Amino acid sequence: MMFEQFWKFCETMVSFTAQEKELIRQQLTLRDMPKNYQLVAEGEVANEVFFINKGCIRLYYLLEEGKEVTGFIFQENMFGGSAESFFSQTPSVQILETIEECELLVLSYAALQQLYDAVPKMNVLMRKILEQRMTFAQKLVASLIIHKPQDRYTSYQQLHPDLENRIPQHVLASYMGITPVSLSRIRKRMSSKK
């Protein structure tokens, strides 16, 4: 059961044989993590990536004045991680933290390197995951430049209707590039129009 979501996710990008699946399964570890747990700290090398069976993780930056800016919110059926640190094996400028209690399948950097050789299709899977992340990151940057905050919020609601009540308002606001007060105003304006 703990691998069912993972295999469904993989099948959207690459088809593994039963033997390949067994080799991959041997390298994955199931880990239950509490809410608000730091998976990767700023300055630490990210040695793991996480497939999310259950829960949400946020990737954020801590600015000098103590302000947190959310760069991404990972949810079920996604790979989460500090990609820059993980793939370059350099200290992370990002922080990765659980927003909720999470059930994660964990893959270490060393295990992934072994899988690249043992299961060449893992190269394809990781490339496709990174292509998705790159595309989404560019869409996010474009949205922050082009769209008004209310439009970004409306779009977010349409894309992730199940997440809004699971994510703290200050995290959602920083992800959209606005203040919690601005987000509150947008919500109030939109609810009065209904």
Residue range 168-192: mean pLDDT, rounded? 85
Q: Do 124 and 151 fall within a single domain?
A: no
Averaged pLDDT score across all residues of the chain: 91
| pLDDT (tens digit per residue) in 122-145 | 999 999 999 998 888 888 888 778
Per-residue pLDDT at 1 exceeds 80 = no
| pTM of the shown model | 0.89
Token duo for residue 183: 């987000």
- Domain carrying residue 190: 147-194
Q: What is the total count of domains within the chain?
A: 2
Q: Do 98 and 54 fall within a single domain?
A: yes
CA–CA separation, 99 and 115 (whole Å): 30
Residue range 118-124: mean pLDDT, rounded? 96
Q: Do 125 and 152 fall within a single domain?
A: no
Kindly state whether residue 142 falls inside one of the protein's structural domains: no
Q: What is the CATH number of the domain that holds 108?
A: 2.60.120.10
Kindly state whether residue 12 falls inside one of the protein's structural domains: yes
CA–CA separation, 28 and 117 (whole Å): 16
| pLDDT (tens digit per residue) in 64-116 | 888 899 999 999 999 999 999 999 999 999 999 999 999 999 999 999 999 99
Strands (E), 152-193: none
Residue 16 DSSP class:
-
